[in-house]
Structure 1
Amino acid sequence: MKLTRLFDLIPHQISTYDKEVALARKEEGIWKTYSSRELKMIVDKLSLALIRTGINPGEKVAIISENRPEWNFVDLALQQIGAVSVPMYPTITSDDYAYIFDHAEVKMIFVGDKEIYTKAAAVAADRQIYSFDQIKGVEHWSALDEKGESGDLAKLEELKEQVKSEDLFTIIYTSGTTGKPKGVMLSHSNVLSNVLSVSNTMTPPPGISKVLSFLPLCHIYERTGSFCFIYMGFSIYYAENMDKIGDNLKEVQPHVFNTVPRLLEKVYDKIVAKGYELTGIKKNLFFWALNLGLKYDPAADMGGWYDFQLKLANKIIFSKWREALGGNVMQINSGASALQPRLARVFWAAGIKVCEGYGLTETSPVVSASVGNYDEIRIGYVGKIVKDVQVKIAEDGEILVKGPNVMQGYYKEPEMTSEALKNGWFHTGDIGELDGEYLKITDRKKEMFKTSGGKYIAPQVMENKFKESPLIEQLIVVGDGKNYPSALIVPSFDGLKEYCRRKDIPYLSDSEMISNSEILEKYQSEIDGLNKYFGKWEQIKRFKLLDKTWGIDSGELTPTMKLKRKVIHQKFSKEIESIYQA
């Protein structure tokens, strides 16, 4: 069958795979599953119910929930009647909800749980709210499901026929690192073209193929990913929560999952911390394997002796890493921010294929993606440009993108749209380089700054390098208009505790340790060791340690864990000034 709208993926999955498990979520300790045919039946009934409640083509409906099958049910049901979904992060504030509800002219709201309901209800005005969890006094989504029982399926088929591939399917408000969020308008063809392009970069294993999903569905990365998994016949299992990912990986034993570099950094740091707890020959073997992995290049001939050692390391050390991820992982897709090359090296050495990609909400999102085989992977690059997408580098180094995946524009923002889309090319705001088909990201155009000496600093590259230290959790490079760059550093307190244990330094509170002279000397040594990778004008001259980790809820990180630079500069302005006054 020809696929022209995203909801066409449901009959495609039934005719091609007819999955026993299309979607799954754990409820009260048991995995509740939905087959391909159950998915179609529920979505059809929900579409009919939405028609009966007065939702018309083109009208907007908000979805605010953690990942769960009900999210997909509502999303697909809205598509079938030509309505437009407005997905939102559960973690944003009531003020953000209010802005998006009004700006997008949201008519109806679906919420996941009581906490989200409370925030949404406070600013919902007279909009109807349905919940996925059972909440006293709130209409449950299943009431809609029942309403659709007596609907006219022929009428639904008529409405589905009227939905065109170029029709608006969703408005996604980008969290952004500054200012009010912008509503990115994406059509069926924008996202579907990307699904078909991205599917070329993965080969599902024969038989039962499974994916664990934990990145938020309201973000285009996981959302397009979910459509791709439906298209390719993967069973999608939703993780219980971020704290249970490790347990869920062992239970589900997925073949693929999507992640962000921050989570891979945490996995790696935990592995290394456990290595330090070992003693004797076990500890020596662990760090021998780790150091071997950090030198690995999957695209290079490492030599017979190295290959022999790596085979041995895989048998006695790295096999345990793969078991911790469920034992079946054939590919991990990493996106949303830059992946440290050392992590890519060590995971590939361990037989864990971490494939980095690049894209934006405005490009549905994938522009380039790495392919999970040893012949085509290039460490330090974000893969090859995907099928049907064009990329060129502007004179100032900015990455420009053209293709069927590029958005229709920003909702109600014609000036912003014309600024971003010029002569058919989308201006990404990212700086990069092309080496044949391979793309490398070097920094964000708007994040680069100049020292008082007129030298440009690309902070993202530096931050990624300095975070290679096991003692550094988070770091931001500052110094716009100053005579040298400096850094605010959030220590890895687990790493710091381990260091203190090994050096017999009594560990007091986090706030006391960051002013301890021995600890400050150690961080100076770490900075000095990593400064050698940069030019003299780029090197970090001074730093300030902070005792609180930056987070999404506290406002320093976007929901995809990127630094909100403006917020951090404002919050820690005194600390930054103190660096340059001392």
Structure 2
Amino acid sequence: MDNSTGASQHRLFDFLIGDNINKLPENFLQYKKEDTWLHYPPTQFKENVFSLANSLLVKGINGNGSTVEERSKVGLICFSSPDWLLIDLAVQVTGAVLVPLYPNISKTELVAIFNEAALEVCFVEDMELYNQLDSIKQDLPKLKEIYVINTSEALLSWKQLILPFSKTIYENVLTYANKVDETDVCTIIYTSGTTGTPKGVMLSHKNIYSNMEAVSSEVFEHLILDKKQALSFLPLNHVYEKMALYVYIYNGFTISFAENVGKVVENLQEVKPYMFCAVPRLLEKVYEKIISVGEAQRGFKRNIFFWAVKLANRFEFNQKLSISYKLQLRLADILIYKKWRDALGGNVKAIIMGGGACQQRLIRVFGAAGINVVEGYGLTETSPILAFNRVNDIQPGTVGMPLKSVEIKFLEDGEICCKGDNVMQGYFKRPEETQKVLKDGWFCTGDIGEMINSKYLKITDRKKQMFKTSGGKYVVPQPIENKMKESFLIEQIMVVGEGQKFVSALIVPNFSGLADWCRKHGVLYKGKESALKSEKIRALYKSIIDRYNPLFNHVEQIKKFVLLPEEWTVDKGELTPSMKIKRKVILKNHENDIAQLYGLE
């Protein structure tokens, strides 16, 4: 078979066409079905990609057209699985454009995105999503067909598109694949919209391939793993996990897909991966669980546990440790830290952290236990990685060194700008929005930062999240919030005070932790509502704020706060699907609470 693709092309699907597919492990994709872990052999995977691509081409789904607007668009609303990757690559080889969406996207956003992108075909996870989409099909005039991945209804199943592989199918698809240029847009990823309406970020094959190559050569080269095994459980329609998946494949990993987020802990025990990607909140919950186990101990065992925690809090990277400290670490590892690793499967050496700032304390604690928490930074618009801590050079409080393939500069107000092959083509059908952030090849991130020791990038806040008090002083909320969340009694927090005399905070307590505290301190706990009325509990949270306030200048210190009974959630529109808070929504939802804080009611 002719595998000619043009040596200068850098496209994500090239490993499928050439011989590289044969270098992947036989179990390179693993998934669980009916309590049994199954694997997807590379050859079978390739044949199914080409077969699906051929069926799409027969239906007129292709990359014909001189502009991205003219090319076919395919929607994908599916949880992370081998099927997600198969559909992704099948669409790529046709030259069409994939538009992946979160399964829990709101109806309003779904209709807006489908019509803006003019989606013709959409693949959905199950019949529930099919019924949701079918119920609003009259509002989606461009949508022709919906296929269901997990269904027993043959007429709706996507399996009808995966015909037996043949040389004819291969050659037909290859004809279209060879027409795809590395500068062609391969996906449009809609941002999760923390600051407004979601925008479609256009990423080309070259954008993503260049980032995949850079991360592989600069970050993964330092990873020393007994086995190349990873667990995937974050949403693949987010560019963070999507890039991770490509990097795993590029480096010959076995990738196991978790059944769902609720089964991650169980799947960690079964798969025993050596690394995985996570968001800060997940690591915070793991740590809270660890501490709750320690709190339940009594006597000598409890003392040993918290001795080990204090020891871990003192851990420093890239510094020569004293013999005494090393011996204590070794003892703590035998008695305590090994149990922490066992809770994550026993083999984890690295957790790649993204989607938000990670507490420095957690990075040190897990580092002491032999688990490297590797924090990086990037945006959907940058494919995404701009900077990364290296396993052999972790600097807590920073996002590490910029990739060599990326140029970084700072504007006068501290805004980070970048340039490189990974920078997006622009926002789909939003030329004015594109011009606001892309200037002479430089992408303006909207993040404020600085370089530490002329080497490590540190993010201080989102430019749009900064606010000014009535005294004209600027306040950067994120560092304050991150520090306050180091208390295990705080589940969520948002700093407020724009245009006001002082800074206040909306706080959602960690109610399970609060219940434990009440039991230990003889405070009656009858539930959320009654707890929040307790003067002792208010005093507790005031003491937490008083403990951290001195770390910030006077204008940044929290003077008042309100405790809230319910968590902010994605379903209520207060969090993005990647768990970032939507400040404008929360401000609106809690107008009365904020008014009371400032005596404006």
TM-score category of the 2 structures, normalised to the smaller one: over 0.9
Q: Distance in 1 between matches of 2:128 and 2:377?
A: 33
- Kept in 2: contact 1:97–1:123 (CA 8 A): no
**Structure 2 residue 397 is the aligned partner of structure 1 residue 380:** yes
Structure 1 CA distance for aligned equivalents of residues 593 and 325 of structure 2: 47
SS at match of 1:6: coil
CA distance in structure 1 between the aligned counterparts of 2:573 and 2:165, rounded to whole angstroms:
41
Structure 1 residue 338 corresponds to structure 2 residue 357: yes
Distance 1:15 1:571, change over 3 A: closer
Shift of 1:299: 2.1
- After TM superposition, the structure 1 stretch with the greater mean CA deviation from structure 2, 531-540 or 402-411, is 531-540
Q: Which residue of 1 aligns with 2:574?
A: 556
Correspondence for 2:373? 354
Instruction: For residue 293 of structure 1, report the CA deviation from its aligned partner.
Output: 0.8
Would you say 1:22 and 2:28 are equivalent positions? yes
Retained in 1: the 8 A contact 2:576–2:582? yes
**Is the 1:334–1:354 contact (alpha carbons within 8 Å) kept by the matching residues of 2?**
yes
Between 1:116-125 and 1:41-50, the stretch displaced more is 116-125
Which of 491, 494, 500 is the aligned partner of 2:512? 494
Q: Where does 1:421-460 land on structure 2 (aligned, <5 Å)?
A: 421-435=438-452, 436-460=454-478
- The residue identity in structure 2 corresponding to 1:214 is F
| Paired residues of 1:48 and 1:151 also in contact (CA < 8 A) | no
Matched, 1:108 2:108: no
The 1-side partners of 2:22 and 2:349 are apart by 22
Give 1:15 deviation, angstroms.
Answer: 5.0
- 2:82 is equivalent to residue 69 of structure 1: yes
**Distance in structure 2 (CA, Å) of the matches to 1:263 and 1:425:** 33
The structure-2 alpha-carbon separation of the partners of 1:285 and 1:339, relative to structure 1 and needing over 3 Å to count, comes to same
Q: Secondary structure at the match of 1:578?
A: helix
**How many angstroms apart in 1 are the aligned matches of 2:166 and 2:555?**
69
Contact 1:14-1:37 at 8 Å conserved across structures = no
The equivalent of 2:342 in structure 1 is 323
Residues 66-105 of structure 1 mapped to structure 2, 5 A cutoff? 66-105=79-118
For 1:102, the aligned partner's letter is: N
Partner of 1:504: 522
Q: What's the counterpart of residue 144 of structure 1?
A: 161
Q: Does structure 2 conserve the Cα–Cα contact (< 8 Å) formed by 1:168 and 1:185?
A: yes
SS at match of 2:551: coil
- When structure 1 is superposed on structure 2, of 546-555 and 299-308 the one drifting more is 299-308
Structure 2 letter corresponding to 1:164? D
Specify the alignment match of 2:134 in structure 1: 121
Q: What is the distance in 1 between the residues matched to 2:514 and 2:19?
A: 49
Check conservation: 2:22, 2:42, Cα contact below 8 A: no
Residues 148-185 of structure 1: per-residue CA shift (max 9 Å, x gap): 66853222111111111111100001011132210000
Equivalent-residue separation in structure 2 for 1:142 and 1:15 (angstroms): 23
Q: How far apart are 1:529 and its partner, in Å?
A: 0.6
- Does structure 2 retain, via aligned residues, the 8 Å contact 1:555–1:567? yes
What number of residue pairs does the alignment pair up? 580
Secondary structure of 1:166's partner? coil
- Structure 1 residue 232 displacement after superposition: 0.5
CA–CA distance in structure 1, aligned partners of residues 18 and 471 of structure 2:
60
Residue type of the alignment partner of 1:17? K
Which position in structure 2 is the counterpart of 1:40? 46
Q: How far does the alpha carbon of each residue in 1:179-219 deviate from its partner, in whole angstroms, 9 at most, with x for none?
A: 22100000000000000011120146577421110110000
Q: Which residue of 1 aligns with 2:62?
A: 56
Match of 2:262 in 1: 243
Write the deviation string for residues 366-396 of structure 1: whole angstroms up to 9, x where unpaired: 00011112xx111111011113111111111
Name the CA distance, whole Å, in 2 between partners of 1:491 and 1:188: 44
Q: 2:292 aligns with which of 270, 273, 279?
A: 273
Q: Distance in 2 between matches of 1:138 and 1:518?
A: 62
Give the counterpart letter for 1:364 in structure 2: S
CA distance in 2, matches of 1:162, 1:523: 62
The yes-or-no answer on 1:217 pairing with 2:236 is yes
Tell me which moved more, 48-57 or 78-87: 48-57
**SS of structure 1 residue aligned to 2:555:** coil
SS at match of 1:152: helix
What is the CA-CA distance between 1:397 and the residue it aligns to? 0.1
Q: From the superposition, tell whether residues 333 and 206 of structure 1 become closer, same or farther in structure 2 (CA, over 3 Å).
A: closer
148-157 or 72-81: bigger deviation = 148-157
**8 A Cα contact 1:113 1:135, kept in partner:** no
> Does structure 1 conserve the Cα–Cα contact (< 8 Å) formed by 2:21 and 2:43?
no
Alpha-carbon distance in structure 1 between the residues aligned to 2:30 and 2:224: 19
Q: Deviations over 1:58-95 (max 9, x none)?
A: 21000001111111111000111101000001011122
* 2: CA distance, partners of 1:206 / 1:332: 12
Q: Percent identity?
A: 46
In structure 2, distance between residues paired with 1:523 and 1:368: 36
Corresponding residue for residue 478 of structure 1: 496
In the alignment, which residue of structure 1 is the partner of 2:210?
193
Checking the alignment, whether the CA contact within 8 Å between 1:131 and 1:138 is kept in structure 2 is no
**1:378 alignment partner, SS class:** coil
Deviation of the 1:114 alpha carbon: 2.1
Query: Residues 78 and 114 (structure 1 numbering): CA distance in 2 closer, same or farther, change over 3 Å?
Result: same
Q: Distance in 2 between matches of 1:64 and 1:245?
A: 21
Indicate the SS of the match to 2:10: coil
- The residue type equivalent to 1:557 in the other structure is L
- Greater alpha carbon shift after TM alignment, 299-308 vs 484-493: 299-308
Query: What is the CA-CA distance between 1:304 and the residue it aligns to?
Result: 2.5
- Cα offset, 1:492, TM superposition: 0.5
Q: Name stretches of at least 5 consecutive residues in structure 1 with no aligned partner.
A: none
What SS does the corresponding residue of 1:146 show, helix, strand or coil? coil
* Distance (whole Å) between structure 2 residues aligned to residue 407 and residue 225 of structure 1: 18
Q: Give the drift of 1:123.
A: 2.6
Q: Match for residue 392 of structure 1?
A: 409
The counterpart of 2:176, out of the listed 153, 159, 163, is 159
Change (3 A) 1:206 1:504: closer
Equivalent-residue separation in structure 1 for 2:229 and 2:503 (angstroms): 46
Cα distance in 2, alignment partners of residues 100 and 137 from structure 1: 28
Deviation string 1:236-282 (CA, Å, 9 cap, x unpaired) is: 11111111111101111111101111111111111111110111111
CA contact (8 A) 1:9 1:227 kept: no
Residue 78 of structure 1 aligns with an amino acid whose one-letter code is: V
Q: Report the alpha carbon displacement of residue 140 of structure 1 after superposing the two structures with TM.
A: 0.7
Matches within 5 A, 1:564-579: 564-579=582-597
Deviates more, 1:120-129 or 1:185-194: 120-129
The aligned counterpart of 1:177 is: 194
**C-alpha displacement of 1:122:** 2.2
CA distance in 1, matches of 2:92, 2:277: 24
SS in 1 for 2:558: coil
Tell me which residue corresponds to 2:315.
296
TM-score, normalization by structure 1: 0.97
